[in-house]
Amino acid sequence: MYISIGLVSCSSLGLVDLDPEPKSRVEGGGQAGPTSGRDHGDLSRHRSSSLEIKEKEIREKGSEILREQLDAAKRELKLKDKECERLSQVRNQLEQELEELTASLFEEAHKMVHEANVKQAAAEKQLKEAQGKIDVLQAEVTALKTLVLTSTPSSPNRQLHPQLQPSGTRGAYKHVGGHVRNKSASGGFPPSPGKPEPSSVSIQPAAKEDREMDSVLYAEFLMWKENPSVEHSSAFLSRIYREDIGPCLSFTRSELSQLVQSAVENNSLTIEPVAMSALPMVKASAIECGGPKKCALSGISRLCQHRIKLGDKGSYYYISPSSRTRITAVCNFFTYIRYIQQGLVRHDAEQMFWEVMRLRREMTVAKLGFYLTDQG
C-alpha cells in the first residue's frame, strides 16, 4: 500500500509574513540611524527561528500521522492474512472431504454392482433348475394322464391295475411308486397270447408271496430316506451300486458301459425302437455302434429292435433285447428313488422299501439274462 504525503505550505498553516521589507523613511530628508538597522536584524533572526520551530513541529506531526496510518495498514494486512489462511484451510478440508466422499461412492457403487451380478447369476441358476424340474414334472403328468385316460371301467388299463394281469406277465411292466412306464421304456415285450409263460405256473402272485424283511437293509433304507439323494455315498445306495447296478450294467464293452451308467444316473439316456427295414444312420463306426443284428454293448450277434442315445451326442447304439432289459431295469430303479427324493411317493416307509426290493429283484433277474420277448 502506497501512502502519499502532501507538503504543507506555510500559507495553509495560516502563517503570515511578519517581516515585510521596512521602508526607510527619512524625515526631514535625513537617513536612518544605527539603532534602526540593529533592530531590524534581531527581528529577522527571531522570525527565522520561529519558522524553523514550526516546520519542525509540522514534520513531527506528519511523521506521527504517517506512522499511525502505517500501523493501521499493517494491522489490517495481518487480519487479512489470517482470514486468507483460514479460508485456505477450509478449502483444503472441503477438497479432502470431497475426495473421500467420491472414493466412498465409487466403492459403494462397485460393491452394489458386484452384489447385483452375484444375485443375478444365482437367480438365473435357480431359474434353470426350476425350469428343468417343471419340464420333468410336466412330462410325467402327461404320461400319467395318458395312462389314466386309456383306462375305463369297461376296459381297464392293465398297467394301472396289475392285479388284473396274469402272474407271469406282471414283470413285463415297470411300476414306479404308483407310476407306470409304458412298453417302449419297459424291460421287455408282452407275451404272446397263444403261448403261456413257464413262469406263470411256478411263480405265485406278489400279494401271496412269503417275504421277510432284512433288518440291516431296512435300517440302511431308513437312514437314506431321512435325506434322500441319488448320490451313492450312503450305505443304502452304495450297497445297491455294488450288488445290483454295477453288475447289471457291466457289459463286454466296458468303456461304453461306463457311459451308459453315467447317462442313466444323469437321466439323459434315450431308448427308442427302430424299424427293421431302415438302414442304420450313425455318425460313428459300425463296430462301435453295432447294427440291427449286432449289440453294441455285448458284441453278440442278435436282432436289435432298439437303440440308445447318450445325452446330446449324435450317435445311436443298437442294443439287444437282453441289454435293453438290463438298462430299463436300472432306469426304473433310478426313477423310483428320484420320485422319493422329490416327495412324489405317498406310501409309508415299509411299502417304499418293498418296492425298492422288487426293483432290485428285476435288476438281478435281468442280469441273469431273463427277459420277455414278443412272439406276435
Residues with Cβ within 8 Å of residue 189, at least 6 apart in sequence: 172, 183, 321, 372, 373, 374
pTM: 0.46
The upper half-sphere exposure of residue 367, i.e. CA atoms within 13 Å in the direction of its Cβ, equals: 15
pLDDT one-digit tens code per residue, 86-142: 999 999 999 999 999 999 999 999 999 999 999 999 999 899 889 888 988 888 887
Cβ–Cβ < 8 Å for 274, 307: yes
User: Distance from CA of residue 279 to its chain's centroid?
Assistant: 47
**Residue 258 reports pLDDT greater than 50:** yes
Q: Any idea which residue has 408271496 for its cell?
A: 209
pLDDT given at position 135: 83
Q: What pLDDT does 148 receive?
A: 64
Q: What is the pLDDT of residue 155?
A: 52
pLDDT digits (tens, 9 = 90+) for 290-313: 567 889 999 889 889 899 999 887
What 8-state DSSP symbol labels residue 245?
A: I
Report CA torsion sign: 164, 169, 175, 181.
negative
Segment 7-49, tens digit of pLDDT:
444 444 444 444 444 444 444 444 445 556 667 777 787 788 8
Continuous segment of H or E residues that includes residue 111? helix 34-149
pLDDT range class, residue 233, cuts 50, 70, 90: confident
State pLDDT tens for residues 307-366.
999 988 778 999 999 999 999 999 999 999 999 998 888 889 999 999 999 999 999 999
Mean pLDDT across the stretch 260-268?
91
Phi-psi region of 28 (alpha: psi -120 to 50; beta: other; left: phi over 0): left
Residues 130-181: tens digit of each pLDDT: 988 898 888 888 777 776 665 555 455 555 555 445 444 444 444 333 333 4
Nearest to 22 by CA among 41, 45, 49, 50: 41
Distance CA 308, CA 293 (A): 15
pLDDT for 131 equals: 86
Is-contact 308 270, C-beta < 8 A?
yes
- For residue 374, name the pLDDT band (cuts at 50, 70, 90): low
190-230 per-position pLDDT tens digit? 333 333 344 333 444 445 678 899 999 999 999 999 999 98
Q: Buried b / exposed e across 207-217, counting CB within 10 Å, b at 16+?
A: eeeeeeeeeeb
